[in-house]
Structure 1
Amino acid sequence: MHKTIRAFFFTGLATVFLAANVAWAQPKPQPVPSSVNLAQNAVSAILIDADTGTVLYEKNSRLKLPPASITKIMTLLLVMEAIDRGKIKLTDKVRVSEYAASMGGSQIFLEPGEEMTVEDLIKGVAVASGNDASVALAEYVAGTEEAFVAMMNEKARQLGMTDTRFANSNGLPAPDHYTSARDIAIMSRELLKYEAITKYTGLYQDYLRKDTNRPFWLVNTNRLVRFYPGCDGLKTGYTSEAKFCLSATAKRDNFRVIAVVLGEPDTKTRNAEVAKMFDYAFSQYTTKPLYQRGDVIQELPVEKGERERLPVVAARHFNLLMKRGEDAGQYQTTVELPERVLAPVKAGDVLGHVVVTKQGQEVARLDLVAPVDVGAATFGQLWQRALNRLLHLP
């Protein structure tokens, strides 16, 4: 049995704490006027609100296509997850294998046996699109690139990326290596949950091996990070088969969008059409900041847990997406949580969710999560609690 708490958003008033781990399938695409052709030259494209996942524009977004180096978004996602879990650290030194150093195409010219930190390899992937750096990170996280690719495909499955199959960690041409604009938007949005990633994807230039006799100048393959205000990522791609591709993100105030284009004829057209998509989003939509990461919604009793109560928190910030000029009071929320939870509980477990509706139609669904682990209580703890209740002790 779920306890349902209903609340309403009014202009200037926010009364319910929400989390922003949004299920992709829920947001409904916003109607785009037929006269708007944002990605005329792209084979496939999509534009979404990064916070809610709402689709603002799409064109052939489910078409399965080679993604080239946009593949590296999934590589970076798994690396950031490994750092977040404590499996690896930014300061770890990675010894480069002969296989990683043998990668062709774009590279940072790693040599077999060379050591480079995880952080510098991330820069090599995010800024210079290094194929060798991608494989070095993949091997460090999973032992082999093959094992890492299995992790990539499993993560894609977990995220609902049903149009995707990865064959390598860097996007070099390979049989049965494909994805779609929709799926790229999904993994891009997931990567952006790690807010530190834009520290790297937003760099226009930097150096590797600064204090050696082999310095390497990094220049971002995504020129929009320099020339489009608010753009701070994510990843370009090119092969003769895939043509020119880009998954880009830009943020103004509290409003972040993700634009994906595949199969563009050249870099100039690619960048111009992504900029056009950004312009459309920022001119037509706005957001109302509501909640920050870690905001506590309420506490839930924990049955048979080592602790008796558990706060439910916002996984990250959440903004209400609206058309410009729209009244926030048109939106309603329903918060659904159980009466109690049963131990054990893991940090990040989804304990409930919030549904945002407008005129009775669902526009976003947000997960509510546990902030910490709660183990099962010992027999002694359970006995002491029963005794306390019997004696009316706190």
Structure 2
Amino acid sequence: MRAIIASLMSFFVIFSGFSTYVSATEGANLAPNSFSAIIIERDTGTVLFEKESKKELPPASMTKIMTMLLIMEAIDTGKIKYDDMVRTSEKAASMGGSQVFLEPGEEMSVEDMLKAIAVASGNDASVAMAEHIAGSEEEFVRMMNEKAKELGLTNTHFLNTNGLPAKDHYTSAYDLAMMSKELLKYEEITRFTGIYEDYLRQNTEDEFWLVNTNKLVKFYPGVDGLKTGYTSEAKYGLTATAKKNGMRIIAVVMGAPSPKERNKQITEMLDYSFSQFMTHALYERDHVIAEVKVSKGSQSKVPVVTSESVSVLTKKGESIDDVEEKLTFTTDLQAPVKKGDVVGSLVIEKEGKVLVETTLVAGEDVESASWWRLFKRTLGKFSGM
């Protein structure tokens, strides 16, 4: 299918010189006691600081960021629902490490399983959800690696869903930040990752107290996710996100020597980001940008919406102007069209420099039209002549 620039307009706000990439040297001496680190702004993906961010390292339980991403995608597409019941297999129940002690045959809702993964880092819940969505953990891992390729992540390879130690199971700080950026498109995920404490199996003899492994959820204002990780090989890692004054930051540390040092480094990274930068919001996710024609569909047009929130980033105190917005739509779009199908792109530029680029998607399903409907449509064209 061919794509053309279907619309070109100027979007005027108060904006001036800035960079879409800030050199790591501007970040002072952040994350000195870690293997690698990175800070990005979520909406634009702009790197605010990085240290060895492409280095391949064991992620431990930060693996579950990709696990949660595939779960949220399945919920968003209607493949699964929060109140679906998930049965625990013998394999899922046998997982060691962090767990919520699921029993073989035990059933728990998708919502509670997601809570177990996000808050308690449940290895058992991760495998149970993988099997529920894909039929087996092995197939789910294939989906994880396929998603990593789709996102352009070249320093990632998964062998399991939970991050238990395995040879050739690795990712990088940069790739974790990009996974988190994609996960945070589903804003409801922070309803789970932002919980500090809760319970599973409430009002039963097996009530289980959940306490978030990410202590910054309680102790740093604005933090509402995402995931910690620890193994003796990986050391202490944390992918954290916080939102203040409309700007969402993602900060990743891998290989810190202790939980205290890990939290200290993330805190300093967040402090730096919020003190130096600000965002200018343009569109929320699912904002209707336009309508495009659909041939042979049950309806002739489909709404085109933003696939994620869209913002422009500046240094604090800087202003913006003369930002140009370019919309590119797919031509020859034919039914059936599924909600979420990519049907165009949105590019924000200033003086020919790309500031933000994001996909535009179909806002609803368009089924193929019946033969009779197409016949009547064609007949109507002739009768109107």
Q: TM-score range by the shorter chain?
A: over 0.9
Task: Kindly indicate whether residue 254 of structure 2 is the aligned counterpart of residue 262 of structure 1.
Answer: yes
Query: Which has the higher mean CA deviation after the structures are superposed, 207-216 or 293-302?
Result: 293-302
> Is the 8 Å Cα contact of residues 254 and 319 (structure 1) preserved in structure 2?
no
When normalised by structure 1's length, the TM-score is: 0.91
Structure 1 distance, partners of 2:181, 2:26, is 26
Distance 1:298 1:44, change over 3 A: same
> Is the 8 Å Cα contact of residues 3 and 339 (structure 1) preserved in structure 2?
no
One-letter amino acid of the structure 1 residue matched with residue 212 of structure 2: N
Q: Percent identity between the aligned chains?
A: 55
2:49 to 29, 50, 57: 57
Number of the residue aligned with 1:362: 354
2:5 to 2, 7, 29: 2
1:142 to 110, 123, 134: 134
1:226 shift after superposition = 0.3
One-letter amino acid of the structure 2 residue matched with residue 40 of structure 1: P
Task: Kindly indicate whether residue 296 of structure 2 is the aligned counterpart of residue 304 of structure 1.
Answer: yes
> Is the 8 Å Cα contact of residues 36 and 254 (structure 2) preserved in structure 1?
yes
> Is the 8 Å Cα contact of residues 72 and 169 (structure 1) preserved in structure 2?
yes
Structure 2 distance, partners of 1:113, 1:386, is 57
Number of the residue aligned with 1:95: 87
One-letter amino acid of the structure 2 residue matched with residue 350 of structure 1: V
| CA offsets 1:90-109 (integer angstroms, 9 cap, x no match) | 22222222221111111112
Structure 2 distance, partners of 1:340, 1:154, is 28
Task: Kindly indicate whether residue 238 of structure 2 is the aligned counterpart of residue 251 of structure 1.
Answer: no
Number of the residue aligned with 2:285: 293
1:135 shift after superposition = 1.2
* Partner secondary structure for residue 199 of structure 1: helix
Distance 1:179 1:90, change over 3 A: same
Structure 1 distance, partners of 2:53, 2:316, is 25
1:367-378 aligned at under 5 Å gives the runs 367-378=359-370
Number of the residue aligned with 1:19: none
Q: Would you say how many aligned residue pairs link Structure 1 and Structure 2?
A: 379
1:87-126 aligned at under 5 Å gives the runs 87-126=79-118
Query: Which has the higher mean CA deviation after the structures are superposed, 371-380 or 232-241?
Result: 371-380
1:1-394 aligned at under 5 Å gives the runs 1-11=4-14, 28-34=20-26, 36-338=28-330, 341-392=333-384
Point out where structure 2 has 5 or more consecutive residues left out of the alignment. Answer: none
Distance 1:331 1:41, change over 3 A: farther
One-letter amino acid of the structure 2 residue matched with residue 5 of structure 1: L
Number of the residue aligned with 1:23: none
1:33 shift after superposition = 4.0
Distance 1:339 1:166, change over 3 A: closer
When normalised by structure 2's length, the TM-score is: 0.93
One-letter amino acid of the structure 2 residue matched with residue 116 of structure 1: M
> Is the 8 Å Cα contact of residues 11 and 327 (structure 1) preserved in structure 2?
yes
Point out where structure 1 has 5 or more consecutive residues left out of the alignment. Answer: 13-26
Distance 1:337 1:382, change over 3 A: same
Structure 1 distance, partners of 2:383, 2:261, is 76
1:301 shift after superposition = 2.3
> Is the 8 Å Cα contact of residues 40 and 251 (structure 2) preserved in structure 1?
yes
1:272 shift after superposition = 0.9
Distance 1:384 1:333, change over 3 A: same
